[in-house]
Amino acid sequence: MPPALALIDVETTGARPADDRITEIAVIRVEDGEAVARWSSLVDPGIPIPAQIQAITGITDAMTHGAPSFAALAGELRRLLAGAVFVAHNARFDYGFVRNALRRCGDDFEADVLCTVKLSRALYPQQRRHGLDALIDRHGLVCTARHRAMGDAEALADFLRVIAGAFPATQLAAAVAVAMKRPRQAPALADGMLESLPASAGVYLLYGKPRPAAAALLYVGSSRDLRSRVASHLTAADGDRRLSGLARQVADLEFIETAGELGAALLASQLVAARRPPHNRVTDRSAVLGLELRRQRRRAPVLARVPLHGSDPLGWPGKIFGIFRGPREIDHALRGLAERHRLCPVRLGVDPLSADPGTCRRSGDCSGVCAEGESPAAHDHRLAAALACLRLAPWPWRGAIVIRESSADGMRHASHVLDHWCLLGTADDENRLDELLSERPARAFDLDQYRILRRWLASAAHRAAVIPID
């Protein structure tokens, strides 16, 4: 093993290191096989934590409110990282988040990286699963709090102790070398192409063959700085797991400049939906669902799954909790709630009705509503309280609004017309804006656009620039 290691885990608002933010970070520094420092902190991400992330990690907006910003923690973090190999599980993810966060603080951080997923694969090739849950089960690792930063970092420390005693030094060194190897990036991209990109907001499209081979489109992304963003993709610097191996396939690229970062994100989401590039996470719009609690039901399930895509939010029934990409994402979130609050997975609709209604009570999974050990009303009262973290954010204005953007050089302008989290349209001049305001296209909910707008409007400066029109 390298003499100095920094075992790191971060919890975040999402999976995109350049756009999402850290909510919790933990570091265990190991020198010559001994832990010499342990440090962790919640982090105020400055943007909302999506409901499904809160359900998985248990880290809520209320917990991070008032926590230090990442900038306030950066100095102590850099001290712990100094001279150490950066060790994490799925290390591209954690390294990407830490590197992007430090870069926003003006620190061009780089380190040697050791991925414990790759290390496990190199040492245990006969095993199929190498996720952290699999390692914890397989090796009996210590993890005091799964999906919390220090708990997961402790599991990594325990894993390193296990393998240090299980393999000879030569075999371990060879596996470490494999786990630290970085692939060569973007060999097929023409020289000078990256340098031709502007350092301005826009959308970029990466192709596996020279254009106009439309079928070769690999990925669509957006950024407020096209040049640095694309360079980070193609040099493996951003750590986005979904883009693993993408750089080696890229042979061509194009870009579309926009008036600002919001317009770039909205345009990219439309292009992804229309063209479905293989390296983007493409939402199955027919599977976008919300939850409605129907307390009047005595029999399970009491949570109705309501299709949301393309619908008018003003027409949704009652209160909608959460927005999910399909039944599997709903089941995962509800199981997390059930475990933390001892709710009945049958009544929540994630387990089937059983011939023996007391099964989940005897297993300790719930408080007994399925076997009349708790009244449905009492259970559903607790359920409503647990669902509060999934409650959708209300639209802060009475009706439609306009958000204006202008590029730094003053050459491009855009006015985005929005109503109840729905994009009604974008105008690049005043005549088109007047047409949009008079036409008022119907509201049609889109999950990706909703998440973009939630992040954007979380900023007080962005909210202050909103122009209400109703």
Give the pLDDT band of residue 203 (cuts 50, 70, 90). Answer: very high
Q: Average pLDDT in the 44-53 region? A: 92
Give the pLDDT band of residue 185 (cuts 50, 70, 90). Answer: low
Q: Which fold has domain 194-275?
A: GIY-YIG endonuclease (3.40.1440)
Each residue's pLDDT tens digit, 238-286:
555 555 578 778 888 889 999 999 999 999 999 999 999 988 888 888 8
Taking domain 4-180, whether its CATH number is 3.10.310.30 is answered by no
Give the helix/strand (H/E) hosting 195: none
Each residue's pLDDT tens digit, 377-436:
888 889 999 998 888 888 999 999 999 999 988 899 999 999 999 999 999 999 999 999
Share of the chain above pLDDT 90, in %: 55
Which pLDDT score is estimated for 247? 79
CATH 3.30.420.10 positions along the chain are 4-180
* Mean of all residue pLDDT scores within the chain: 87
Whether residue 440 contacts residue 424, with contact meaning beta carbons closer than 8 Å, is answered with yes
Q: Is the pLDDT of residue 364 over 60?
A: no
Give the pLDDT band of residue 296 (cuts 50, 70, 90). Answer: confident
CATH 3.40.1440.10 positions along the chain are 194-275
Distances (CA, A) of 103 to 74, 100, 152, 440, 462: 10, 5, 24, 41, 22
Each residue's pLDDT tens digit, 329-356:
999 999 988 888 888 888 888 887 664 5
Which pLDDT score is estimated for 204? 96
Share of the chain above pLDDT 70, in %: 90
Whether residue 141 contacts residue 155, with contact meaning beta carbons closer than 8 Å, is answered with yes
Low-confidence winner among 95-104, 182-191, 434-443 (lowest mean pLDDT)? 182-191
Which pLDDT score is estimated for 27? 98
Which pLDDT score is estimated for 355? 46
Which pLDDT score is estimated for 390? 85
Each residue's pLDDT tens digit, 125-174:
999 889 888 898 899 887 778 879 999 999 999 999 999 999 999 999 99
Low-confidence winner among 9-18, 71-80, 260-269 (lowest mean pLDDT)? 9-18
Whether residue 150 contacts residue 38, with contact meaning beta carbons closer than 8 Å, is answered with yes
Q: Which long-range contacts (CB under 8 A, 24 or more apart) does 95-99 make?
A: 95/239, 96/17, 96/18, 96/237, 96/238, 96/239, 96/240, 97/10, 97/12, 97/17, 97/20, 97/22, 97/239, 98/8, 98/10, 98/22, 98/25, 99/17, 99/237, 99/238, 99/239
Q: Is the pLDDT of residue 96 over 70?
A: yes
DSSP 3-state of 257:
strand
The alpha carbon of residue 72 and the mean position of all alpha carbons in its chain are separated, in whole angstroms, by 23
Q: Average pLDDT in the 61-80 region? A: 96
Between 220 and 14, the higher pLDDT residue: 220
Q: Is the pLDDT of residue 442 over 90?
A: yes
Give the pLDDT band of residue 370 (cuts 50, 70, 90). Answer: low
